[in-house]
Structure 1
């Protein structure tokens, strides 16, 4: 039988979604100091099992390029991705900033560059301090006590461990036999259950869930990719969280259905997953090749930049097919 694996009472107690209260931040089942939520469900044993079965020679890159003009959250007032040269071979000869002299500078062709970006640009992870309720985030940490003038002191990207384990693709676009789900389509529990049935796989507590809407087929058109995106609705997010997902990723800009089907909460899935369920989120995860190859379970390996206190951080996740 395909679907979520039967959850024992012992494991159930570790899944915060089962103790969540509507629009209230949840205290972690892993203690008062916990800052990573359901990433605690990842285990060395599960990582070893996944990597032992993986074909590293056939790794699939699930990330997108970072480049000027790429889709980003400029409509929300956030800065676009910017990149500029700080050193060029010709400029180094003229500037001689190193003091090495013209002869050496003409020999040594020196190039260097810099960039600036919103931390939620490109393929990235949303950490548990990104959204919460009424000034509080996961585990009851508060802006009043835990937010400095520069960054959160709790639940930042620097606390996120390497994410290594079994990944499962929920190919919702393929389930409905479309290249891309309709604009603003809300992915619910029936869609996710239908994917597991169609694909012949199970979903286990601690697994990494990737949800494919097909929206990546519109990349990198800023308007078509971001606006009115299909994605998880609250029911779908709750189903995955209660099934024990350690982290949930999607191929769209915000993981969730946009705009949200909720008159009171414009980020209903973000606030639920991060504040109530303690499940970090990944966005702009390119699932196109996974779908084309019919790769529904795989070894997932990913790590984000350790930006202290950040609400999100770029990452470059990989999927490696299982050999057996």
Structure 2
């Protein structure tokens, strides 16, 4: 059962922010993520920006309150928000957002974009080029004018349920998930990591056509991408080698490569990612 202090904190945040629907953010809320970013800015919180009200977040609020002569109740109410300063003045939806802006609402935007499949580097409350790029991709995905400016239409689209994988998937290899889809530190992991020994075979998660099988310089390393139709693409990254070629038709379970540690990787594993019309989605619910 949640602690009373956690409930109070969540209630206080909800009262002062445009909080997206629980169905859209089952693992965390943008307003809580923005609070965590704000606490990090004030050097009282070192935990992840995951949008989850927990003991560390509540303790950080209390630490901030003590430092500023406020009642240390762990509730991010109006007095605490004012003490946070200009950074916490605006909540998501209270103003139009564009590149160069900073604040609580920008952090909410970053977190919401990431959960809708468009991560944008560190979630830090700064609207830089990565945020603008992710926003434009999301706007195209949501059939909005891709102007890179977050206004009422974008805010409405971000309240919609998260995209999901519409097809059934098979596990590309049998392994426990080492790093899940979702927040990771102050960033966002757009897929899942499946650890394994170098050379372990990796199978296709569904039938389709290979649309990419080469080294990707952006960090994925040796990468295979398979188009399954309907806008669904699966990605197999950090491979040690390839077993398929671009243009090849493959079946579920066809070996696409072998586990490796190519690209930006700290050890041998498979980074498995699924995108639906370009939006990264959690593949786990689609596994049979």
* Shorter-chain TM band: under 0.3
TM-score by length of 2: 0.27
Kindly indicate which of the two structures has a greater share of residues assigned to strand. 2
TM-score by length of 1: 0.25
